[in-house]
Amino acid sequence: MMLMESAHAGGIGLVMNEFSVAGTRVVVMGAARSGLAAARLLAGRGAFVTLTDLRPALPDAAEAASLREAGVELELGGHRAATLARAALVVLSPGVPPAHPVLAAARAAGASIIGEIELASRWLQGRIVAVTGTKGKSTTTTLAARMLAAGGLRALSMAGGLPMCWKARPRWLLTMCGDFHGSTRNAGCRSRKSISTSAANWCAFLPPTWSNKRADTGP
């Protein structure tokens, strides 16, 4: 993988990163909407992608065939430690907790482990407003997008859990980071709603989860 130094563009402090996965072995864990979008994005940018899922088969056979045609290897029926140990980058779909035991193999091998939102943010040529917490995220995200639009800025709301890997390239992009999403350190603005114990239990322990949410959203 290669991450070039950031270059500042004109306008409102836009920062564009050139993040390359060409020739990199990447595992995407979880083959629901976000995982499918991440796998397609990575394959389109030249990565060797393996998409894993606990289900023995994808519900849409045409989708599975299309992924294989795009160069994505499907590994279904479980997440295998041996596969993760060979990856340089692991992308987690929402719902795959970062404390998942099988990720120990990837960490031991020195792989980078990020979420789908973080992956998309590496290539987004725009500014990100991240809204996280347990309740009220969709409303806050939609409201923020409309406020920016009223101010003359082109904004795209991802409320409702739409994958950021489906991104357009607006000046601003509003993303909703739910209980089962990772977040991104590349957000220009952050908003934190209340955080419930159920969200913390997703990661299996309260204090690190709370610390991570605080780091994502600021004080």
* CB contact at 8 A, 14 and 125: yes
Tokens of 104: 């120990």
pLDDT beyond 50 at 193: no
Residues 6+ apart with CB under 8 A from 121: 128, 164, 184, 186, 187
* CB contact at 8 A, 21 and 43: no
Task: In whole angstroms, give the CA distance from residue 9 to residue 111.
Answer: 31
Is residue 198 left, alpha or beta, with left meaning phi > 0 and alpha meaning psi from -120 to 50? alpha
Task: In whole angstroms, give the CA distance from residue 194 to residue 106.
Answer: 32
Q: What is the reported pLDDT for 47?
A: 98
Q: What is the reported pLDDT for 34?
A: 93
Instruction: Express each pLDDT in 35-90 by its tens digit.
Output: 999 999 999 999 999 999 999 999 999 999 999 999 999 999 999 999 999 999 99
* CB contact at 8 A, 155 and 166: no
* CB contact at 8 A, 155 and 140: no
Q: Where do the domains of the chain lie?
A: 19-119, 124-217
* Main-chain dihedrals φ then ψ at residue 148, nearest 5 degrees: -65, -40
Q: How confident is the model at residue 113 (pLDDT cuts 50, 70, 90)?
A: very high
Q: How confident is the model at residue 170 (pLDDT cuts 50, 70, 90)?
A: low
Residues 6+ apart with CB under 8 A from 191: 129, 130, 131, 132, 133, 140, 144, 217
Q: What is the reported pLDDT for 185?
A: 52
Q: Rg of the chain over CA atoms, in angstroms?
A: 17
The maximal CA–CA distance of the chain, rounded, in angstroms, is: 51
Residues forming a β-bridge with 113: 90
Q: What is the reported pLDDT for 85?
A: 97
What CATH homologous superfamily does 124-217 map to? Mur-like, catalytic domain (3.40.1190.10)
Task: Share the mean pLDDT of the chain.
Answer: 77
Q: Within 10 Å of residue 16's Cβ, how many Cβ atoms?
A: 13
Residues 6+ apart with CB under 8 A from 151: none
Q: What is the reported pLDDT for 210?
A: 39
Name the amino acid, one letter, at 55.
R
Query: In CATH, what is the architecture of 19-119?
Result: 3-Layer(aba) Sandwich (3.40)
Q: What is the reported pLDDT for 208?
A: 45
Sign of the torsion angle spanned by Cα atoms 51, 52, 53, 55: positive
